[in-house]
Amino acid sequence: MYLNKDEILNSLTKDDIIRIVTYLGSGEPRHDSKGNLIFQTICHNQPDPSNSYKLYYYHEPQGRHNGRVFHCYSGCDDSFNIIELVMRANRMQGKTLTWYKALYWIGSFTGKLSILKGDSLKTQTKKINDFSWINRIKAVTSKGNEVTPFKELNEHILEIFYYAPHELWLNDNISLEALGRFEIGYYGLTNQITIPHRDMDNRLIGIRGRYIDEDDIERIGKYVPLQVNGEFLAHHLGNNLYGLNVVKDKVMRCKKIMLVEGEKSCMQAYTYFGEDSFVCAVCGSNITPEQVRIIIQDLKVSEVIVGFDKEYEDSESYDATIYYNKLVRTVAPLVPYVKVCLLLDKEDLLPYKGSPTDKGKDVLLRLLDNKIQITMKEVQEVLEDEQ
């Protein structure tokens, strides 16, 4: 789902703020001479009655402070909003909340959860598709450029994006719920759909952008690391499985994982199956040694299903045979350790370059029903044919 950030935050009263901050560990607030609330510094301390009262809350604009802002006059020496305070307070108690989850918690806790839907959603979608008002700065880069990968990104980078769904994906078998679950946003400065990447422990490790304008796609590429303030928010795609943070619990329970090529396929699968999805993306057409390690050692699955994009038009063609051989070579490192199955479109249900998830739930289930197992026998046959 897509949370209405502005409506949630603007609806919070002083009483709501008091409920939140005291729940997170502060004592009852004090007041300064102007009526501003003063709390204990739970932003950088674990809850303790001895914590100093130096966390001020300015509900109305005052001096250099905008309204609805906290300022810690102690260890943080910093200003921040209620979302940041919730994240910091939880961090001090050993819990990690993403920006999105912190906002969701605030809305739920106060009973003021607001979700974009109906006419509001249509208005937001219309805004996204009318680009005449955007003074865009094009990110011109070469595909050959090397960028320094980020180990972990600050969660606050997600605040600069616009969280309303783009019809480009809503019309492609991806639900509003799936877009919200995968934190899909929009970056107006470069006219890109934003795709946060998290590792299996839910750390934000990179953000990819999907260009919308055909000119950008032709010049730069459809999917590239997002560039913000001159920084590429890149990471090694081959060292992670996209979507694993979302489906990890299901994968661990059923001991099964399905690998697809792109992020969009994960969202389509989530649309069809919700929390029962066990689909992750390798973000390419190969399975790297690190991805093999994650699957075998970290996840300890017993079955791997590979549903890569179709690279032939006729299932009886030579191209189909070449594609089959390529897939067998790709999965060969997994075969000695787990059951490996391929999704092969022998009925030509998918278009050329189509993903098994592209044509809806029924087609995907049909492909799954007809999956074929690859054993060492098939691997050996392919390797011998190439000699």
In tens, the pLDDT along 57-109 reads 999 887 666 788 999 998 888 888 999 899 899 989 988 787 778 888 999 99
Whole-number average pLDDT of the chain: 87
pLDDT given for residue 132 in this prediction: 33
Rounded to an integer, the average pLDDT of 337-365 is: 96
pTM comes to 0.68
Buried b (16+ CB within 10 A) or exposed e, 237-263: beebbbbbbbbbebbeeeebbbbbbbb
Specify the pLDDT at position 387: 62
Phi, psi of 118 (to 5 degrees): 60, -135
Whole-number pLDDT of residue 117: 57
Tell me the DSSP string of 110-128: HT---B--HHHHHHHHHHH
Asked if residue 59 lies in contact with residue 39, where contact means CB atoms within 8 angstroms, the answer is: no
The arithmetic mean of pLDDT across residues 255-261, rounded, is: 98
Average pLDDT of the segment spanning 246-257: 96
pLDDT for 127 equals: 40
Extract the runs of DSSP E, i.e. beta strands, from the chain: 30-31, 37-39, 55-58, 69-72, 78-80, 185-187, 192-198, 204-211, 223-225, 227-228, 231-232, 256-260, 279-281, 303-306, 339-342, 372-374
CA distance 210 to 191: 9
Instruction: Identify the pLDDT of residue 356.
Output: 97
pLDDT surpassing 90 at residue 310: yes
CA distance 87 to 96: 7
Q: Note the pLDDT tens digit of each residue in 112-156.
A: 988 765 444 444 444 434 333 233 323 323 333 343 444 789 888
Whole-angstrom CA distances from 99 to 11, 56, 72, 180 are 18, 21, 20, 13
Taking 70 as the threshold, does the pLDDT of residue 210 lie above it?
yes
The percent of residues above 90 in pLDDT, for the chain, comes to 65
State pLDDT tens for residues 289-304.
999 999 999 999 999 9
More confident residue, 236 or 100: 236
Contact between 275 and 250 under an 8 Å Cβ cutoff? The reply is yes
Q: Do 245 and 277 touch, CB atoms closer than 8 A?
A: no
Q: How confident is the model at residue 373 (pLDDT cuts 50, 70, 90)?
A: very high
CA atoms of 189 and 87, how far apart (whole Å): 27
Predicted local distance difference test score (pLDDT) of residue 41: 96
Domains in the chain with CATH codes: 5-110 (no CATH), 118-235 (no CATH), 244-386 (3.40.1360.10)
* pLDDT score at 384: 84
Average pLDDT over residues 241-260: 97
Enter the tokens of residue 352: 């050329």
pLDDT digits (tens, 9 = 90+) for 19-34: 999 999 999 999 999 9
Q: Is the pLDDT of residue 17 over 90?
A: yes
